[in-house]
Structure 1
Amino acid sequence: MKYLVKFMFIVLLSTSSYSQAYSKAGSFDYYVLALSWQSAFCEYRRGKPACRSQKKSDFSAYNFVLHGLWPNKKGRNGHRYGYCNVSKSIKWKDKKRRWCKMPSLNLSNSVRTDLNKFMPGTMSCLQRHEWYKHGSCSGLSENKYYEVSNRLVDLFSKTSFNKLVANNAGNYIRRSKLLRAFDQEFGKGSRAYLGLKCKRVRGKKLLTEIRIRLQKDLSKIDNFKDVLPTRRFKTMRGNCPSRFKIDAL
Structure 2
Amino acid sequence: MPKVYTMKQLSILIASLALALSTSAFAQNTASPQYRDWVTPQPGQFDYYKLSLTLQPVYCLKNPSSPACKTSILQNSPLLTLNEFIPSRDQGRRYKYQYCSKSISEKEIKLDQKGQWSKLPSVPNLTSATKKSLNEVMPQTKVYQQRHAWLKWGTCNSSTYDANGYFSKAAALTKYINNPDVSAFIQANRKTTVSLTQIRKFFNREFKTLNKVQFQCVSVGNRSFLENINFYVNKKVDLADLDSYPLLTPFGTMKHSPEQECPESFYL
Q: TM-score, normalised by structure 1?
A: 0.87
Q: Is the 8 A contact 1:155 1:224 kept in 2?
A: no
SS in 2 for 1:59: coil
| Counterpart residue type for residue 230 of structure 1 | P
Structure 2 residue runs without a partner (length 5+)? 1-15
Secondary structure at the aligned position of 2:231 is classed as: strand
What secondary structure sits across from 1:50 in the alignment?
helix
- Residues 207 and 114 (structure 1 numbering): CA distance in 2 closer, same or farther, change over 3 Å? same
Question: Residue 80 of structure 2 contacts residue 178 of structure 2 at CA under 8 Å; is this kept in 1?
Answer: yes
Q: Kindly indicate whether residue 259 of structure 2 is the aligned counterpart of residue 237 of structure 1.
A: yes
When residues 79 and 116 of structure 1 are mapped into structure 2, their CA distance, relative to the original with a 3 A threshold, is farther
Give distance in 1, aligned partners of 2:92 and 2:229: 18
- Which of 201, 206, 211 is equivalent to 2:225? 206
Range moving further from structure 2, 84-93 or 122-131: 84-93
User: Cα–Cα, structure 1 residues 8 and 159, in superposed 2: closer, same or farther, change >3 Å?
Assistant: farther
Q: Deviations over 1:46-83 (max 9, x none)?
A: 111011336774223xx310001101111424882100
Q: How far has the Cα of 1:5 moved from its partner?
A: 2.8
**1:179 counterpart = 2:195:** no
| 2:70 counterpart residue number | 52
Corresponding residue to 1:165 among 179, 183, 186? 186
2:79 is equivalent to residue 66 of structure 1:
no
Q: What does residue 5 of structure 1 align with? A: 20
Structure 2 distance, partners of 1:93, 1:17, is 18
Unpaired runs of at least 5, structure 1: none
Which of 1 and 2 has greater Rg? 2
Q: Say if 2:105 is the partner of 1:87.
A: yes
- The alpha carbon displacement at 1:41 in A equals 0.7
| Cα distance between partner residues in 2 of 1:128 and 1:55 | 19
Which residue of 2 is the match for residue 40 of structure 1? Answer: 58
- The code of the aligned residue for 2:77 comes to F
Task: Kindly state the Cα deviation for residue 119 of structure 1 after the two structures are TM-superposed.
Answer: 0.3
Deviation per CA, 1:24-49: give whole Å up to 9, x if none: 11111111001000100111111110
Amino acid at match of 2:70: R
Select the residue among 88, 96, 113 that pairs with 2:132. 113
| Mapped partners of 2:222, 2:57: distance in 1 | 16
**More displaced stretch, 151-160 vs 117-126:** 151-160
Q: Which amino acid aligns with 2:207?
A: F
How many Å separate the matches in 2 of 1:159 and 1:190?
A: 21
Tell me by how many angstroms 1:21 deviates: 4.5
State which of 142, 145, 148 in structure 1 corresponds to 2:163.
142
TM-score, length basis structure 2:
0.81
- Judge conservation of contact 2:77–2:139 (CA < 8 Å) in 1: no
Count the aligned residue pairs.
241
1:133 pairs with 130, 152, 165, which one? 152
Does the C-alpha gap of structure 1 residues 79 and 200 become closer, same or farther in structure 2, counting only changes over 3 Å?
A: farther
Q: d(CA) in 2 for partners of 1:138 and 1:151?
A: 16
